[in-house]
């Protein structure tokens, strides 16, 4: 199938160009003005932007194990609707993604669905217990590009060092969730004035920063790649800023809620479970520092940390509710609304954080940029359209987001994955499903 996108304003991380795009055999065949060729489908992209497909380094798909909260189909649809064409899913599943069997199963099933590319992140230790290393080589062969114990930071520094060394041999990247659990304990929100005022069990920001420091020092010592997940506080950024000057293997991400929401929003929600995330939401100065770091390029990526939870789990009292919010359908619009429109970053930088840098970190050379011969993963967005986040219109099985009923700017109109239209608002043509908008 040939697709021709006419009058596209192509936004790559480094430039914006006006051209037509011809897609053939799953690849971008031509990027040039006035392509005359015939195509099976012609799309007029006048007044819209065409971006490389977004890449999410941090998704939880709850599969296998909690398919009531998300499965590979609903997760794929949520991703495509949000403009993602490649997502990496974390191994905190049941069974855990700690062996090639589970990796192969997810790869095969998701390819059968064929809506987005799902690349599992393998566990570093068996069952993410922080005791024994998994078989990195087998995980890599099965398709993993990155490894992480996700929510369970490896407390044993010796083991973490050995994991980094072993990962180096396979050219795998370690993604670290930085949390010193002896400090965070059973905390539910950031330790701050508000937590004290309500006697809410709390987590100090240093629980993250201390682990950031340790992980960077070990990675520097081993001299290998390290990616830090969902950075949430000013202190961590100050440290990362300094280290990045001398250590080029270091990359990091944040998530939209960390550059938008604060502990004050937690209070205003009357401590609703949808505002409970780990690491917890910070204070105003953390949000400002994260925005600054995104602008400066200290933070390389924006990842969703998409974490579906059932309604019943999230309506529990705040201190008992599980951590996490969904993000696949929201990340683009949140980033556009709160960063691009507010002139914190440009649309090119949005592409850098949500596509180009993640591709680079994973070594996916044919993604993250609209150019000839690249894989045809791209999206058409209308940044002038606003939309309201309404629970029933979300295609994710779970609706746990603090942005319910918010009005956001920027809408993904069309998602092409490997040369195939997988989402054309509001339809998922390949599986004959509508998002219901």
Partner 1 sequence: MVEWTKKHILEIKDLTRQEMEVVFNLASSFKEVSQREVKKTPALRGKTVVNLFFENSTRTRTSFELAAKRLSADVLNFSSSTSSISKGESVVDTIKNLESYRPDILIIRIDTGACLKNFLNYTRASIINAGDGKNEHPTQALLDMFTVKEVKGSLDNLNVLIVGDIMHSRVCRSNIFGFQKFSSKVRVCGPPAFIPFEFEKLGVDVFYDLDRAIEDVDVIIMLRIQRERQNLAYFSTLREYVENFSLTPERLKRAKKDCIVMHPGPVNWDVEISSTLKDELHPLILKQVENGLAIRMAVLYLVGAEKREHKTLRR
Residues catalogued as catalytic: 305
Nearer to partner 1, 121 or 321 (CB): 321
**Tokens 């990091």, located at residue:** 252
Q: Which of 50, 52, 62, 109 is nearest to 86 (CA)?
A: 52
For partner 1, the binding residue among 63, 134, 202, 224 (CB under 8 A) is 202
Tell which positions 239-258 bind partner 1, by CB under 8 A.
none
| Shortest distance (Å) from residue 391 CB to partner 1 | 15
Cα–Cα distance for residue pair 80/85, rounded to 1 Å: 6
Single out the segment in contact with partner 1 by CB under 8 A; choices: 127-135, 185-193, 371-379, 389-397: 185-193
Which of 30, 161, 272, 385 lies at the binding interface for partner 1 (CB under 8 A)?
A: 272
Residue 423 Cα to chain centre, angstroms? 19
Q: Which of 136, 160, 258, 271 binds partner 1 (CB under 8 A)?
A: 271
> What does the alpha-carbon distance between residue 58 and residue 38 come to, in Å, rounded to a whole number?
39
Tell me which stretch binds partner 1 (CB under 8 A): 20-28, 137-145, 269-277, 299-307: 269-277
Distance from first CA to last CA of the chain, Å, rounded?
28
The one among 18, 34, 199, 245 contacting partner 1 by CB under 8 A: 199
- Which residue, 279, 285, 294, is CA-closest to 229? 279
The interface mask with partner 1, positions 305-344, x = CB under 8 A, is -------x--xxxxxx------------------------
Residue 295: count other Cβ atoms within 10 Å of its Cβ.
Answer: 15
By CB under 8 A, tell whether 200 contacts partner 1. Answer: yes
And the tokens for 78? 């949520």
Alpha-carbon span 370 to 428, nearest angstrom: 23
Please give the DSSP secondary-structure letter assigned to residue 274.
Answer: G
Our finding on whether 201 is near partner 1 (CB under 8 A) is yes
Rule CB under 8 A: choose which of 191, 243, 286, 377 binds partner 1: 191
- Enumerate the β-bridge partners of residue 227: 175, 251
Shortest Cβ 314–partner 1 spacing (Å): 10
How far is Cα 250 from Cα 231, in angstroms, rounded to an integer?
13
- For partner 1, give the closer residue by CB, 323 or 427: 323
CA nearest neighbour of 358 among 349, 368, 348, 350: 368
Q: Which two tokens stand for residue 1?
A: 């199938």
CB of 275 to partner 1, least distance (A): 11
Q: Which tokens go with 401? A: 């987001």
Specify the residue, 319 or 366, whose C-beta has the smaller distance to partner 1: 319
Residue 197 binds to partner 1 (criterion: CB under 8 A): yes
Interaction with partner 1 in 127-156: which residues (CB under 8 A)? none
User: Closest separation between CB of residue 30 and partner 1, Å?
Assistant: 55
SS3 326: coil
Task: For residues 70 and 155, give the distance between their C-alpha atoms in angstroms, rounded to a whole number.
Answer: 29
Q: Would you say 256 or 324 has its CB closer to partner 1?
A: 324
Determine the Cα–Cα distance for residues 365 and 55; give it in Å rounded to an integer: 13
- Contact segment (CB under 8 A) with partner 1 among 102-110, 141-149, 197-205, 371-379 equals 197-205
CA-based radius of gyration for the chain = 21
Question: Closest CB to partner 1 among 162 and 272?
Answer: 272
| Closer CB to partner 1, 169 or 316, in the complex | 316
Strands 54-59, 16-24: pairing is unpaired
Size of the site for partner 1 (CB under 8 A): 22
Write down the residue that tokens 């024994």 correspond to. Answer: 132
Choose between 193 and 221: whose C-beta lies nearer to partner 1. Answer: 193
- Residues near partner 1 (CB under 8 A) are 191-193, 195-202, 204, 270-272, 312, 315-320
């Amino acid at each position: 199938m040939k697709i021709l996108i006419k009058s596209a304003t192509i936004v790559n991380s480094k430039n914006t160009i006006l051209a037509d795009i011809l897609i053939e055999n799953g690849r971008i065949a031509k990027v040039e003005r006035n392509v005359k060729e015939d195509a099976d489908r012609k799309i007029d992209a006048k007044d819209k932007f065409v971006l490389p497909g977004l890449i999410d380094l941090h998704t939880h798909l709850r599969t296998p194990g909690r398919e009531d909260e998300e499965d590979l189909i609903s997760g794929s649809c949520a991703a495509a609707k949000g403009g993602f064409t490649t997502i990496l899913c974390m191994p905190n599943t049941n069974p855990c993604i700690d062996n090639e069997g589970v990796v192969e199963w997810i790869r095969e099933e998701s390819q059968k669905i064929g809506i987005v590319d799902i690349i599992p992140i393998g566990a570093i230790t068996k069952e993410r217990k922080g005791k024994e290393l998994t078989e990195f080589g087998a995980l890599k062969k099965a398709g993993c590009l990155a490894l992480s114990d996700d929510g369970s930071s490896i407390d044993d520094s010796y083991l973490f060092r050995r994991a980094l060394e072993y990962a180096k041999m396979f050219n795998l990247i370690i993604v670290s969730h930085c949390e010193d659990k002896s400090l965070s304990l059973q905390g539910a929100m950031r330790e701050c004035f508000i937590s004290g005022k309500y006697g809410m069990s709390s987590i100090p920001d240093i629980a993250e920063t201390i682990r950031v420091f340790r992980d960077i020092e070990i990675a520097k010592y081993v001299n290998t790649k390290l990616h830090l997940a969902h950075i949430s506080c000013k202190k961590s950024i100050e440290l990362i800023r300094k280290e990045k000057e001398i250590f080029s293997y270091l990359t990091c991400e944040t998530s939209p809620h960390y550059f938008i929401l604060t502990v004050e929003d937690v209070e205003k929600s009357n401590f609703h479970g949808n505002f409970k995330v780990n690491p917890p939401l910070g204070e105003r100065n953390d949000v400002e520092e994260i925005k600054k770091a995104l602008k400066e390029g200290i933070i390389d990526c924006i990842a969703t940390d998409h974490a579906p939870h059932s309604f019943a789990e999230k309506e529990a009292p705040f201190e008992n509710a599980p951590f996490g919010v969904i993000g696949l359908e929201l990340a683009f619009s949140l980033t556009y609304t709160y960063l691009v429109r507010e002139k914190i970053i440009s649309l090119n930088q949005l592409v850098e954080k949500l596509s180009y840098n993640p591709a680079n970190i994973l070594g996916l050379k044919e993604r993250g940029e609209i150019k000839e011969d690249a894989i045809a993963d791209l999206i058409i967005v209308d940044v002038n359209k606003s939309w309201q986040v309404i629970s029933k219109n979300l295609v994710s099985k779970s609706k746990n987001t603090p942005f319910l009923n918010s009005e956001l700017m920027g809408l993904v109109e069309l998602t092409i994955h490997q040369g195939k239209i997988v989402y054309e608002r509001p339809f998922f043509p390949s599986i004959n499903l509508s998002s219901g908008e």
